Chain A
Amino acid sequence: MIQYFIDGLVSGSIIALGAVGLSIAYNVLRFANFAQGEILAIGAYISMAFIVLMGAGIGSIGPISFGWPLLGSIVFSIAVTSVIVLVVDSVLFRVLRERAASRITFIIAAFGLSLIIRNVITLVAGADQMFLSFYIPRAIPIFGDIKVVPDDIVILVITAICVVSLHSFLSITTMGKKMRAVAENPILAMVNGINVKSVIRWSWVIGASLSAIAGTLHAHVTQLDPEMGFELILPMFAALIVGGVTNVYGAVLGGFLIGLTEAFAVAADLSAYRSAISFLIMIVVLIVRPQGIIGEKERDD
C-alpha cells in the first residue's frame, strides 16, 4: 500500500510540475496550451541526447542512481527547451498575439503544434521506446517494514525545491510580481508600465524549465517515447482544473491528487482506464466546483 502511495506522489510530482507550466500559460498567455505535454517530451529527449553525448550513463551517488550526469542533463535540458519554446513563441504565438487572434485560434494552433512536435520527435529519434539508463528501482528499508526507493525521495525533494523556488520567484522578485499583475489584469499592468512582452518570455521560460525537469524525471522513472507528452496532457489538464486554474499552487495540489488517484486506480486493477479516471475526476470537479479546490471564481475577459 505504502508503495502505491509513493508511486502516486512520484507521478504526482511530474504531473504537478507540468501542470504549473499549463497554469502559467493559462493565466499569463491566456490559453489552454495543448502542446504542454510535448514540451515535457522535448525536455526528456534533450536530456537523453545529453546523456548519450556524455557517454557516462546517469551516474550514481551512494544508493541513489541519480548522479551528476543526470543532474547535468536537467540543467542542459532546461536551457535548450527554453530556447526552443521561445523560438516557437516568436514564430507562432507572437504572430497570433499581434493579430489579436481569438483564444480558440491559440488553442487550435497549440493543438496543431503538439502534433507537429510529436512527429518531429518520431522523425528524429524514431518511434521506439528509449531508456535513460538501465536503472532498476531497488527499495531499501528505512523504518521497520517500510521500504522506499531512494530515487523516489530524490524526485520528491527536487519537486519541493521547484515549488519553493517558484513561490519565492512569484512573491519576492520584481518579475514574479509583474507576472502576477499581468495574470490579474493585462491592460492595467500595461498601463502601469509593465513590459508585457518580457513577462510573456519569462512565463514561457519558467513553464519550459519546469517541463524539462518533469520530462526528465518522467523519463528516468519510466521511459521515453514520442507519445509520452500525449499521454501526460490529460492528467495535467485534470490537475489544473481540479486544483483551480487561477491559482498556480492549485496545479501543484491537483497534480498530487491526480497522481495519487491514478496510483490507486492501478492498485485497484483499473490501470487500463487510468487517463479516463483523471478525466472523470475533472468532470466531477467541473460540475461541483468549477473554480477548482483552491481557485477563485474567474472574471470573464
Chain B
Amino acid sequence: MIDILSFFIFFFIICSFYIISSLGLNIQYGFTGMFNVGIAGFFAVGAYTSAIITGPDYPDTMFGGFELPILLGWICAIVVSGLAGVLVGLVTLRLREDFLAISTFGIAISIQLVALNAESVTRGPNGLYALPKPFSRFLDSAFMSNLCYLIICIVTIVFIYYALERVVKSPWGRVLRSIREDEVAAEALGKNVFLFRLQAFVLGCGIMGLAGAMYANFVRFISPQDFLPIFTIQVYVMLIVGGKGNNLGAIVGAIVIWGLWSASDSLINFIVTPDYQTQAASLRIIIVGMVLVLMLVFRPSGILPEKKHLSS
C-alpha cells in the first residue's frame, strides 16, 4: 500500500514540474500567441540558478555553493529566468513571430552549451549534486519528505493557477488575447503591443524558471542531460492536448500526457528486451511527436477548449 502511495506521490511531484511549465507556456502561447521553443532552456536556467544558490560548495567549482535558503534560490530562479526572457524578448518581440521561435531555440541550445562547458560553474557533464531538498533535514524518511514536497508543489500550482486566472481575466489579460487575435487592431486602440508581449513573455519565462528550480531541489542532481529539446515538445503536447488558452486545460493536459509517458515507459521496460531499448525510446518520442502533429491537424483546441470570454 505504502509502495503504491509513494509511487503516486513521486509521479505527481514530477508531474508538477510539467504542470507549472505548461501554465507558464499558456500565458505565452495560449493567451498571447507567442511561440517559445526554448522552454527547456528557461527551465534549465531556473534549475542551475537555484542549484548554485542553495547547493553546497564543490571543491572543483569557482563560483556558487552559497548554501542559502531554498526559498531564496527559487525566487532568484524566477528572477534570472525572467531576465533571460527580457533579453530574448527585447531583441525579437518587435519582429515577425518566427524570429522569437528561432531565437528561443538558439538560446536553449546556448544555455545547454554553457551548462556543458562552463565547468567552473556548472561542473559540465558531471552536473551539480547533493542539492538540498526542503524539510529533508527534519524528516528522515524519504516518504515524509516527498509528501511534504508534494504539498509544496500543490500549493504552488494552486497559487499560480489562481494568479493566472485573475491575470487573464483582468484588463491586462484581455489586451493579451486581443493581441493574439488581431495585433493591428490592438495597436490601433492605443495598446503598446510590444510592451504587453514582453510582460507576458517574461512572466511565462519566470514561471518556467520556478519549475526548473523546484525540479533541481527535488531530484537533487542536475546535469545538462536533463534539459533536452524533448522537454520542450512534451510541454507543448501537454498544453495543446489539454487546451491552449485554458489554465485548467494546461493542468489536465500535463497530467494526461505525463501519465501516458510514464505508462509507456513501464510498458516498454516490461515487453522490450534490453537490446532494443534505444529503438523503443525512439518509438516513444515518435509517438509523442505524432500526437502533437495530429492534435494540430484534427483538434487544435484540445480537450478543454478555451472559454469564450465576453467583455461586459
Cβ-based interface call for B292 (8 A) = yes
Cβ-based interface call for B83 (8 A) = no
**B282 in complex: contacting residue of A32, A119, A230, CB < 8 Å:** A119
Q: How far is the CB of B52 from chain A (nearest CB, A)?
A: 20
Q: Which residues of A contact B14 (CB under 8 A)?
A: none
**A32 in complex: contacting residue of B94, B98, B278, B288, CB < 8 Å:** B98
Q: Which residues of B contact A273 (CB under 8 A)?
A: 113, 117
Cβ-based interface call for B185 (8 A) = no
Asked whether B35 lies within 8 Å of A108 as measured between CB atoms, the reply is yes
Q: Which residues of B contact A112 (CB under 8 A)?
A: 233, 236, 289, 292-293, 296
Cβ-based interface call for B297 (8 A) = yes
Given contacts A107-B98, A237-B102, A241-B99, contact A127 B278 (CB under 8 A): yes
Q: Which residues of A contact B297 (CB under 8 A)?
A: 92, 95-96, 99, 109
**B296 in complex: contacting residue of A96, A237, A287, CB < 8 Å:** A96
Asked whether B282 lies within 8 Å of A272 as measured between CB atoms, the reply is no
Q: Which residues of B contact A293 (CB under 8 A)?
A: none
Q: How far is the CB of A84 from chain B (nearest CB, A)?
A: 16
Interface segment, one of A40-48, A138-146, A275-283: A275-283
Cβ-based interface call for A187 (8 A) = no
Q: Which residues of A contact B282 (CB under 8 A)?
A: 119-120, 122-123, 127
Asked whether B106 lies within 8 Å of A237 as measured between CB atoms, the reply is yes
Q: Which residue of A lies closest to B184 (CB)?
A: A300
Q: Annotate B105-140 by CB proximity to A: 1 below 8 A, 0 otherwise.
A: 111011001101100000000000000000000000
Asked whether A116 lies within 8 Å of B289 as measured between CB atoms, the reply is yes
Cβ-based interface call for A76 (8 A) = no
Of listed B101, B103, B233, residue having the most chain A CB within 10 A: B101
Asked whether B109 lies within 8 Å of A279 as measured between CB atoms, the reply is yes
Asked whether B102 lies within 8 Å of A116 as measured between CB atoms, the reply is no
Cβ-based interface call for A234 (8 A) = yes
Cβ-based interface call for A156 (8 A) = no
Q: How far is the CB of A251 from chain B (nearest CB, A)?
A: 13
Measured CA separation A99–B296 after assembly (Å): 11
Q: Annotate A277-301 by CB proximity to B: 1 below 8 A, 0 otherwise.
A: 0011011001100100000001010
Cβ-based interface call for B300 (8 A) = yes
Asked whether A276 lies within 8 Å of B98 as measured between CB atoms, the reply is no
Asked whether A104 lies within 8 Å of B106 as measured between CB atoms, the reply is no
Q: Which residues of B contact A237 (CB under 8 A)?
A: 102, 105-106
**B286 in complex: contacting residue of A31, A119, A127, A283, CB < 8 Å:** A119
Asked whether B96 lies within 8 Å of A115 as measured between CB atoms, the reply is no
Of listed A101, A108, A123, A300, residue having the most chain B CB within 10 A: A108
**A287 in complex: contacting residue of B91, B102, B117, B283, CB < 8 Å:** B91
Asked whether B113 lies within 8 Å of A276 as measured between CB atoms, the reply is yes
Measured CA separation A51–B279 after assembly (Å): 24
Q: Which residues of A contact B107 (CB under 8 A)?
A: 279
Cβ-based interface call for A105 (8 A) = yes
Measured CA separation A54–B196 after assembly (Å): 59
Q: Which residue of B lies closest to A119 (CB)?
A: B282
Q: Which residues of B contact A101 (CB under 8 A)?
A: 296, 300
How many chain A residues sit at the interface, stated as a range, is: 35 or more
Q: Which residues of B contact A116 (CB under 8 A)?
A: 285-286, 289-290, 293
Asked whether A102 lies within 8 Å of B292 as measured between CB atoms, the reply is no
Cβ-based interface call for A167 (8 A) = no
Measured CA separation A116–B110 after assembly (Å): 23
Asked whether A108 lies within 8 Å of B236 as measured between CB atoms, the reply is yes
**A115 in complex: contacting residue of B101, B109, B229, CB < 8 Å:** B229
Q: Which residues 232-279 of B sit at the A interface, judged by CB distance below 8 A?
A: 233, 236, 240, 278-279
Cβ-based interface call for A26 (8 A) = yes
Q: How far is the CB of A277 from chain B (nearest CB, A)?
A: 9
Q: Which residues of B contact A99 (CB under 8 A)?
A: 297
Asked whether A275 lies within 8 Å of B113 as measured between CB atoms, the reply is yes
Given contacts A96-B296, A272-B116, A290-B95, contact A111 B233 (CB under 8 A): yes
Asked whether A115 lies within 8 Å of B230 as measured between CB atoms, the reply is yes
Asked whether B96 lies within 8 Å of A119 as measured between CB atoms, the reply is no
Q: Which residue of A lies closest to B124 (CB)?
A: A272
Asked whether A107 lies within 8 Å of B113 as measured between CB atoms, the reply is no
Asked whether A103 lies within 8 Å of B285 as measured between CB atoms, the reply is no
Asked whether A119 lies within 8 Å of B289 as measured between CB atoms, the reply is yes
**A241 in complex: contacting residue of B102, B289, B293, CB < 8 Å:** B102
**B106 in complex: contacting residue of A119, A279, A298, CB < 8 Å:** A279
Cβ-based interface call for A162 (8 A) = no
Asked whether B37 lies within 8 Å of A111 as measured between CB atoms, the reply is yes
Q: Which residue of A lies closest to B94 (CB)?
A: A290
Q: Which residues 12-40 of B sit at the A interface, judged by CB distance below 8 A?
A: 29, 33-35, 37
Besides A108-B296, A122-B279, A241-B99, 18 more A-B contacts (Cβ < 8 Å) are: A32-B101, A34-B105, A96-B297, A104-B33, A104-B35, A108-B35, A113-B289, A116-B290, A119-B283, A120-B282, A123-B282, A127-B278, A241-B102, A273-B113, A275-B106, A279-B110, A290-B99, A300-B96
Query: What are 10 A-B contacts with C-beta separation under 8 Å?
Result: A26-B98, A34-B101, A101-B296, A107-B35, A112-B289, A119-B282, A279-B110, A286-B95, A286-B99, A290-B99
**A interface residue numbers (CB < 8 A to B):** 26, 31-32, 34, 92, 95-96, 99, 101-105, 107-109, 111-113, 115-116, 119-120, 122-123, 126-127, 230, 233-234, 237-238, 241, 272-273, 275-276, 279-280, 282-283, 286-287, 290, 298, 300
